[in-house]
A = this chain, B = another copy of it.
């Protein structure tokens, strides 16, 4: 069957089978009438960081520096799965006047995207533990990668199906903990599955629709990965829309690679336009390196100032 015949046959069948609407009716949805989708008046650049790059002998010292430098939140690691540790972090955050951003968890070795029952169960149990810790701490979500390259025998289609089969229940579990599971699209060098924000957003949407609470799955964008995989940062973030719950800040592939923003040639204006357009107020968090010959305290503050200027330049 040729393509146009296929389409024609499909259209005819759909018309014949469907209950007919009133064809004379006006399209009455007034959502769009004269209103822009531009939410920039509500947008806000909420700068934060993973803890590793922040100098300091303990978490209290790190938080104090972050607060002093104008950061608003902190991104954690998988150790928040320990409830006691989560509670301690929560107190330290409150003392410092910071909020909790996301937990950077990863793929758990790809265990959840496996046909081996025990392996899958291990991954699922650990994800639940970290979701509980994230809930205690008040984190916006737990960052999840279905599989890094080589970690899963499944094809893209099979991974997508497994996510749709398994994750509605996990998304509801996350929502019950008061948090979310956040897909992180990576670049092809790290993961062949899930490389664009629009794809992650569409899978998250489909999982939410198949879940009870409809709100447990989300997506994030990482400027480094996006610099490789996206054709347009603004388009990508708009496709993330209300499902976008986290952003990683890092310079792209120019030298030095994946560095503090402002230390290589990567610009952030195009992406920030997208974040402004959707009225994004969630965390924008450092996940990047700092060249060893720089004064790290100075380099981080320079980077924050660079990002603030980029955000100002992001005219829609």
Contact = CB atoms under 8 A, between A and B. Distances in A.
21 contacts: A3-B145, A4-B77, A4-B104, A11-B257, A14-B255, A14-B256, A18-B255, A32-B270, A32-B310, A32-B313, A36-B316, A37-B273, A196-B196, A198-B198, A198-B230, A198-B235, A198-B239, A201-B231, A201-B232, A205-B231, A235-B274
A121 interface: no
Interface in A1-53: 2-4, 7-8, 10-12, 14-15, 18-21, 23, 27, 29, 31-38, 50, 52
B234 A236 contact: no
Interface in A104-123: 104-107
Given A33-B313, A38-B316, A258-B11, A243 B267 contact: no
A19 B235 CA distance: 32
A4 B78 CA distance: 10
B231 A291 contact: no
Given A15-B292, A52-B8, A316-B36, A229 B258 contact: no
Closest CB pairs A-B (n = 4): A11-B289, A235-B238, A235-B239, A3-B106
A313 B238 CA distance: 19
Contacts of A196: 196, 198-199, 202
Interface of A: 2-4, 7-8, 10-12, 14-15, 18-21, 23, 27, 29, 31-38, 50, 52, 77, 104-107, 145, 155-157, 192, 196-199, 201-202, 205, 229-232, 234-241, 243, 254-259, 262-265, 267, 269-270, 273-274, 287-289, 291-292, 294, 306, 310, 313-316
A237 B269 CA distance: 19
Q: How many copies does the complex hold?
A: 2
Contacts of A229: 202
Nearest to A12: B289
A143 to B, nearest CB: 9
Contacts of A314: 32
Contacts of A256: 11, 14-15, 18, 20-21
B35 A315 contact: yes
A267 B29 contact: yes
Nearest to A145: B3
A259 B294 contact: no
Contact of A7 (B15, B197, B274, B287): B287
Given A23-B294, A205-B231, A231-B205, A11 B198 contact: no
A305 to B, nearest CB: 12
A157 B159 CA distance: 13
A241 B192 CA distance: 24
Nearest to A258: B11
A182 to B, nearest CB: 14
A230 B257 contact: no
Given A3-B105, A198-B232, 11 more contacts: A3-B104, A4-B52, A7-B287, A10-B257, A10-B258, A20-B256, A23-B263, A27-B306, A198-B236, A199-B199, A202-B231
